[in-house]
Chain A
Amino acid sequence: MRILQSIITFCIVAVFSHFLLLGITRKSNYKEVGVWNEIVKGNIDADLIFVGSSRTSQHFDTPQIKNNQGINSYNLGLDGTLFDIHLERLKIYLRYNKKPQHIVIGVDLESFEKKTGIWNESSFIHMLNQEGLYNILNDYDNNFFYRKYVPLYGFAEMNKLYLGGIIRSINSKKSSYNRGFIPVDRDWENMTNQKMELMFQIDPYYVEKLKELIQLSKSSSKKVTLVYSPAFDTKTIKIKNTDYILSLYRKISEELNIQFLDYSHHYLSYDNSIFYNSQHMNSKGASLFTEVLMDSLSK
């Protein structure tokens, strides 16, 4: 009897703790968690939004756009994600916030290749009540089932400094990622001199998801643009089907009657001082590129 009482007491405490932490996470403004909370809070006033992966979140300097062009913009870029999650993120954004005038979709060479697992699963813990998002996440990693339904599971897995950051940032007025933009202050890091040839797969599922994303964007805004932002050519890593993938983006853009801006051969792509690895620009690069992009978009 006493053993049963102890087990019941533990279950009650565990469930209570789980909901307490969930509540704290939903009030926090820490990094990706804070961005999700801003989206769901519904106070974002943006005429221009950016959708994509880490190359989007790190390349499109939304605070700079506000300062220089006076345009309210918001960056929905999410690290380690593909078009299906970008689509869900946009749906959630549109559910709670005013529709923008212009949507820019950042694309990458590996955006059509299926990944296994989810990067930084902890940042989704408090969003698993969003059914569409949960279903997609669970397809990638079925531990999301336990993260949703087993008390404390998701929080126990979390990096403790991340959890500490979430708790510390409850009182912050806004997200530590200003308007969703993640500036990276790092210099070029030469990963390897070893020559490599890669070939990214094209999964038809992601082609369909991109088209859905574009269709949703078109129905929710006045203008949609596809952008391939600069990447640095290391000369040692060769992606064999670069031209094919870029031509696929061009073809989809033409099919759906939207603009495609390809910066793969832009002069910024040849300056490694504005990159920290071959795919990501640092904050200096993001600033320069954002100016170039806004100039193109205004034409």
Chain B
Amino acid sequence: MKFFHSIRWRLQAWHSLILIIVLIGIAWPAWDVQRANLESRIDLELEQRLTLLARFFDPAKGHGPRRPPPPIGMLADESGPPEPPPFDERRLPPPDFNDFELPEREAELFKGTRTTDFYYALYDRDGSEQKKSEYAPDDLPGPDEEREGIHFRTRGYLRECLLVYRSGHSMIVGRDTSPDYKELKNFAWFLTSAGLVVLLIGLLGGWWLSSRAIRPIKDISGTAKKISKGDLSQRIPLSDTDSELGELAAMLNHTFARLQANFEQQAQFTGDAAHELRTPVAVLLTQTQTALARERDAGEYKESLEACERAAKRMRSLTESLLALARLDTEVEKAPREYADLARIVSESVEQFSALAQEKGIDIKQELDPAFFSCNPDQISQVVNNLLSNAIQYSDAGCHVMVSVKTESNQAVLQVRDNGRGIPETDLPHIFKRFYRADKSRTRSQGRVGLGLAITETIVKAHGGTIAVESTVGRRTSFTVRFPLPEPA
């Protein structure tokens, strides 16, 4: 049954069916036309012979009519399709066949033993045989019609033409048509074999064509199988990108590439996460194992527990950040957007940080122009908070932080500048990378994990924007975020 599910076999089956129908549709009528032509030709010949015969019969003396014989050729009537006998036998007196004699030339037409030869027979009004040609069949039955006129009958391969006179006399001309039918049969065989050959060629050609068409599908399913086994780097080999299958393959390749990128990103992510978690876990393990190694006093236990708490808090902030990042990776595009003012989001953020800034002796200044754009306000808030928090974190007392929002050409531009510690040149290209911390030892102890800027960049990009940084160590740092604004209506 698997046979019938294969596209290629189905194509072949339909193809052969159609071809067979077409071939039969051509061959059958061709043969039929031949047969019809053959039969009418035979009948025409018989009639003509009959006519010929009847000419030599003069009704007055019992023979043919005296009317001049119509200009008929020996075998064929040049004037076209067969016509009824040129004389009207109803005007004739009944024939008498006794003196019937054919002239030699005409007698020739009825001579011979070849089965293609004609024969004749003449009958009296009572149906008894009066005269017969030399080679007429012995068992020729008499007339089986009494009506006047010309009648045809077929006995096996013998086709006979019967002329019945008003007087009741009748005349038969007949012929063995088996050779003709044999030729017809040969013609039929010829048509059949030619048809079969054409069918065979058609099938082979069709097979070859459908193989070629199916091959890209095999390529595709082969590659898909390898991919499903785990090798995501496989791609469908493309040679013809314009055909329908070529387009399909190109699209699938694109999908596979995205799948692979996704998997790699996930693997990278889980690798990074595990790595970052290892150290606080090591702290927990070593602290507790050391504490449990022997009897300790309360003070020592307290110290140990405090160290464990610090490690646990680090793990907490790490897992929170990781979850946020994971969620962001999958959902950043789906967060609902509304039309909001960037300036308002920024001013709310600044307010949140004002207390902390004041504590640290840092002054925050803002220059905000309204800038409405389509965004998810919570996510944008996160971005602003992150940039502000970094600015404050890396500045010392007496420094300034300047936040500005303005519109330039068709972009909303957010800038956060500070004159704090700055970022070393070697770190600048990496600061947006996940888990990257420029000042490793110090910041780690404060629970910072290195994901803030990575999250910020992801959000900015999802909104179609860009983020850039400039910094001089010990002097200043400046982050510039640009969001595209909708075209003015």
**Are A and B subunits of one complex?**
no
Residues of A within 8 A of B (CB): none
Residues of B within 8 A of A (CB): none
